[in-house]
């Protein structure tokens, strides 16, 4: 099984995922995600580095072949920039494991948790873009970003800025300034549902790259996104 642990708050972990973890013999995942699973007798935890996704998936397939009840954990939803895709990629390379029983257990992904905290900025057509260039060239990030902006989508950005990529988010903001009006609302939602939660909403002209880090989801509204009181939302109707 591949399970989503949600954005951080234990109350946002689904009952289905909680039940799967209670029955697991082995839990595999990135170090901080495995740390969210409480140790207990009969459970072996397998924390690994963030860049070991395919190795992690292969390990899970091998353990499952021995009869182990394996749960691969991801934050958020496992199908959104996470381990579900990596597992199927590993399975594709291992035809001897094609009969492995697999279940994907959904979770609340960060962009949905952030949107709910802010109001409804993803209330109409939207897209999600992973800004990391670890698995794709930054030129492809730029191409998709420009098309999304020109298409009038609200946008949710994952992995906006890290210590190894301190300058790329500045480039992203510059592209947005080229494609969008200065008043376009942009939400910086950091560590949503945890004690460190912080939400900042500013017009694009006031956005700075220092407002984001790897614990931040950035949501850019479309041209109709607006404020109502302390909330921001995107109308579901489009003017003809």
Which CATH number does the domain housing residue 140 bear? Answer: 3.30.950.10
Give the CB-side neighbour count of residue 97, counting CA atoms within 13 A: 20
Which residue among 71, 105, 139 closes a domain? 105
- Last residue of one domain, picked from the residues 73, 105, 137: 105
Q: Which of 110, 123, 109 is nearest to 188 (CA)?
A: 110
Q: What is the pTM of this model?
A: 0.92
Identify the band that residue 87 occupies on the pLDDT scale cut at 50, 70 and 90: very high
Cα 114–Cα 80–Cα 119 angle in degrees, nearest 5: 20
CA distance 71 to 17: 9
Mean pLDDT calculated for residue range 223-232: 96
Residue ranges of alpha helices (H) inside 151-235 are 168-179
- The pLDDT score that the predictor gives to residue 135 is 85
Q: CB under 8 Å to 234, separation ≥6 — which residues?
A: 120, 121, 122, 123, 124, 126, 154, 221, 222, 224, 225
Residue 105's pLDDT is 98
Per-residue pLDDT at 50 = 76
Detail the DSSP E strand segments found in the chain: 2-4, 26-30, 44-48, 70-74, 104-105, 119-120, 126-130, 154-158, 185-190, 198-203, 216-220, 226-228, 231-233
Is the pLDDT at 166 greater than 80, yes or no?
Answer: no
Integer Cα distance of 177 and 105 in angstroms: 38
Tell me the mean pLDDT in the region 48-62: 90
Domain of 208, in residue numbers: 110-233
Judge if 70 and 169 occupy the same domain: no
Domain count, the chain: 2
161, pLDDT greater than 80 = yes
Where residue 190 falls among pLDDT bands split at 50, 70, 90? very high
Does the residue 240 lie in any domain? no
Same domain, 17 and 100: yes
Q: What confidence category does residue 134 fall into, taking pLDDT thresholds of 50, 70 and 90?
A: confident
Does any domain span residue 16? yes
What CA–CA distance (Å, rounded) separates 16 from 128? 25
pLDDT digits (tens, 9 = 90+) for 89-102: 999 999 888 899 99
pLDDT of residue 79: 96
Is the domain of 119 the same as that of 217?
Answer: yes
What is the pLDDT at residue 206?
98
Q: Across all residues in the chain, what is the average pLDDT?
A: 95
pLDDT at position 137 is: 93
């Amino acid at each position: 099984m591949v399970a989503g642990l949600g954005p951080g708050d234990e109350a946002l972990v689904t009952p289905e995922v909680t039940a799967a973890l209670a029955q697991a013999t082995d839990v595999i995942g990135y170090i901080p995600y495995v740390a969210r699973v409480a140790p207990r007798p009969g459970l072996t935890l397998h924390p690994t580095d963030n860049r070991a996704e395919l190795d992690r998936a292969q390990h899970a397939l091998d353990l499952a072949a021995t009869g182990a009840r394996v749960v691969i954990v991801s934050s958020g939803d496992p199908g959104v920039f996470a381990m579900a895709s990596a597992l199927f990629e590993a399975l594709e390379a291992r035809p001897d494991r094609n009969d492995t029983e697999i279940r994907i257990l959904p979770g609340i992904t960060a962009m949905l948790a952030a949107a709910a905290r802010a109001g409804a900025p993803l209330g109409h057509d939207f897209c999600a873009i992973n800004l990391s260039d670890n698995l794709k060239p930054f030129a492809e990030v730029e191409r998709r970003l420009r098309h999304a902006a020109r298409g009038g989508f609200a946008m949710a950005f994952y992995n906006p800025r890290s210590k190894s990529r301190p300058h790329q988010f500045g480039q992203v903001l510059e592209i947005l300034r080229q494609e969008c009006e200065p008043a376009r609302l942009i939400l910086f939602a950091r560590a949503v549902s945890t004690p460190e939660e912080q939400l900042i909403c500013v017009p694009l002209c006031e956005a700075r790259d220092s407002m984001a880090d790897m614990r931040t989801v950035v949501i850019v509204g479309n041209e109709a996104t607006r404020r109502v009181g302390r909330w921001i939302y995107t109308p579901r109707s489009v003017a003809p």
